[in-house]
A = this chain, B = another copy of it.
C-alpha cells in the first residue's frame, strides 16, 4: 500500500524527535520513501550502524536531548512538520523515578515547543501520546472524550504534554495534533534493539523475540484482559495524514485497531505463528499490577471520520509478517 500524503511530503523538511526509537525509525523509512527531507533528533546516535546504516542514510541526525535548547533549535530549523515522538517510555519506571520522568518528559516538551514557536512559518507538530492517559473504564470502546486518569507518572506527563501542544497552538499559532496510540507492534529494523526491555516499547515485539528464540513468554495472571494491538505501518500512516491534513489541527485522535484481543490470545497466536516459545502464567508483580489498566479497546471512529484513516492490518497477518522479519534478522551474521 502506498504511503498517504506522498505529494505533500515530497521535498518538505520534517523533523522526527525520538527518530531512532521504534515508531521513529518506521516514520523515517516512510518519509524517506515519499521524498521528504528528513531530520531526526534523539539522545542515541543511530545505533547499530551495520543494521540501520541504510535506513539512516540521507537523514540528518541531531544527537541531543529535548532539554538541550541549542540542539533543539538547530534541529527544528526550517521544519514544516515536527513529529514529536521523543521521551522516556515506561509506566513502572516513571512511578519509581518520578522526578526523572518529569524532567525528561515535561521540561523537554516545553523546550521543544519554545523552539517551535520561533519558527516562521510555524510548523505543524504531531504529538505521540498514549492510551495510558485514560482512566480505566468498563465501557468499551473508549472514545477521545472519555475521562482521563493515568495510573503512572508517564501517563500524567503525556496528558500534560498534550495540553502544552494545544496551549502553544493557542498562544503562538502553531498547529498541533495529538495521536493517542494503543499498543503498537511491527518491524524494529534491527534485531538487537527494542526487544530486550520487557516490552517497554512493544509487548508484542518482545514476545516475538522470546518466541523466535524459543524462550518463555510470561503472562501475568490469567491474561484475559483485552488490548488493542495496532501495526506500526498503520500508526505511520496516521502520523503522515495527521501532519498533512489541516482538518486535524487542534484535535486528539485515538490510533488503534479498534479490536479487542486478550493478552493470552495474542501470546498464543505469537507462539503458534512462530512455531516456538512457550507460555507461562505468573502471579502479578506488585508494580505491574498497579499500572494495569484492565480491558482497553480504542474507539477509532473520530480519526476515520475526520482524517479518513482506518486500520488495515489484521493481527494474525501482522504477526506473521513481523515474525518473518525477525527470522530474517536472526540469520544476519
Contact = CB atoms under 8 A, between A and B. Distances in A.
A102 B106 contact: yes
A153 interface: yes
A170 interface: yes
A160 interface: yes
Interface stretch (A144-152, A193-201, A277-285): A144-152
Given A149-B166, A156-B164, 4 more contacts: A95-B167, A99-B110, A106-B106, A170-B290
Contact of A163 (B95, B110, B156, B290): B156
Interface in A148-177: 148-153, 155-157, 159-160, 163-164, 166-167, 170-171
Contacts of A170: 151, 290
A58 interface: no
A40 B149 CA distance: 30
Copies of the protein in its oligomer: 2
A153 B170 CA distance: 12
Interface of A: 95, 98-99, 102, 106-107, 110, 114, 145, 147-153, 155-157, 159-160, 163-164, 166-167, 170-171, 290
Contact of A167 (B106, B147, B156): B156
Contacts of A148: 148, 163
Nearest to A287: B171
Contact of A160 (B152, B156, B166): B156
A110 B114 contact: no
> Which 3 pairs across A and B sit closest by C-beta, in order of nearness?
A160-B160, A156-B163, A98-B110
A107 B160 CA distance: 14
Contacts of A164: 153, 156
A170 B287 CA distance: 12
A42 B156 CA distance: 26
24 contacts: A95-B171, A98-B110, A98-B114, A99-B107, A99-B110, A102-B106, A106-B106, A110-B153, A145-B147, A148-B148, A148-B163, A149-B163, A150-B163, A151-B167, A151-B170, A151-B171, A153-B164, A155-B163, A156-B163, A156-B164, A159-B159, A159-B160, A160-B160, A170-B290
